[in-house]
């Protein structure tokens, strides 16, 4: 309960200065020396050959909570701390349980966070899948719902527009040569992307993306 009460109050959640604090890991370590931040953060780093260092800048959310946590850890039994961690893990997964638990989460979010509702389950499933397999889903979606022929036609139209614009600039009597050259150079540097990148249709490239 003390930990919960130390979190930012609902009325202060719009205060950016309380929510987001930029600092280095070293600064955070000095503020809360009872927590081994560098070791903890590096535990979650995928590339173990490139660990973060004390001079790495991070964003700390709810600094008062961190300070309170630093004070209460030495005074709290390991069993109670372990129970709290387990509770936090369970809380983060409540949305994946049945409707009874999802309604409880909705009530909690409404009272404490100001979020009146949670998304329908199907939307959460789509969001989770897309966040992990976004490129693969795009590959399947494009193959099923986009026409390569139509994309080719649109590309041709775009290049025709570009060619016409190039001729219009060349014929523009109100431009001096320096301005005309600048406009031509700018047109040459413009990239046109229609629909989706061609690489998205390459199954081998998509597989390599997830392999690496």
Query: For the whole model, what pTM was predicted?
Result: 0.48
Report the pLDDT value the prediction gives residue 13, as an integer from 0 to 100: 53
42, 75, 108 — which closes off a domain? 75
**Which DSSP symbol is given to 57?**
E
Number of domains in the chain: 2
75, 107, 124 — which closes off a domain? 75
Q: Is residue 142 part of a domain?
A: no
Q: Is residue 183 part of a domain?
A: yes
Cα separation values, 176 from 11, 24, 67, 150, Å: 59, 53, 65, 39
56, 75, 94 — which closes off a domain? 75
Q: Is residue 165 part of a domain?
A: yes
The secondary structure element, H or E, covering residue 21 is strand 20-24
Q: Is residue 58 part of a domain?
A: yes
Report the b/e string of 48-60 with b at 16+ CB within 10 A: eeeeeeeeeeeeb
Report the pLDDT value the prediction gives residue 10, as an integer from 0 to 100: 53
Report the pLDDT value the prediction gives residue 14, as an integer from 0 to 100: 52
Q: Is residue 5 part of a domain?
A: yes
The secondary structure element, H or E, covering residue 72 is helix 63-72
C-alpha Rg value of the chain to the nearest Å: 27
Domain housing 160: 147-195
Name residues whose C-beta falls within 8 Å of residue 104's C-beta, 6 or more positions apart in sequence: 94
140 with 130: CB under 8 angstroms?
A: no
Q: How many C-beta atoms lie closer than 10 Å to residue 156's C-beta?
A: 11
Q: What is the mean pLDDT of each run of 10 residues along the chain (212 residues)?
A: 54 58 94 93 85 92 87 91 88 84 82 72 87 91 86 89 91 90 90 83 89 76
Q: Is residue 135 part of a domain?
A: no
How many CA atoms lie less than 13 Å away from 108 in the CB half-sphere? 11
Q: Is residue 204 part of a domain?
A: no
Report the pLDDT value the prediction gives residue 106, as an integer from 0 to 100: 82
Q: Is residue 56 part of a domain?
A: yes
């Amino acid at each position: 309960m003390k930990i919960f009460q130390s979190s930012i109050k609902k009325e202060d959640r719009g205060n950016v200065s309380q929510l987001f604090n930029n600092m280095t890991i070293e600064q955070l370590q000095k503020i809360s020396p009872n927590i081994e931040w560098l070791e903890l953060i590096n535990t979650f780093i995928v590339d173990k050959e490139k660990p973060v260092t004390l001079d790495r800048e991070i964003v700390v959310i709810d600094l008062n909570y961190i300070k309170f946590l630093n004070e209460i850890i030495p005074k709290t039994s390991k069993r109670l701390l372990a129970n709290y961690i387990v509770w936090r893990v369970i809380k983060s997964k409540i949305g994946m349980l049945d409707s009874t638990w999802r309604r409880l989460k909705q009530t909690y979010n409404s009272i404490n966070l100001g979020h009146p509702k949670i998304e329908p389950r199907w939307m959460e499933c789509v969001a989770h899948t897309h966040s992990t397999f976004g490129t693969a889903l795009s590959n399947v979606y494009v193959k099923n719902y986009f026409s390569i022929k139509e994309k080719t036609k649109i590309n041709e139209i775009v290049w025709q527009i570009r060619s016409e614009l190039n001729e219009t600039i060349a014929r523009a009597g109100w431009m001096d040569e320096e301005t005309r050259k600048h406009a031509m150079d700018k047109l040459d540097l413009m990239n046109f992307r229609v629909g989706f990148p061609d690489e998205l249709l390459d199954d081998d490239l998509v597989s390599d993306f997830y392999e690496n």
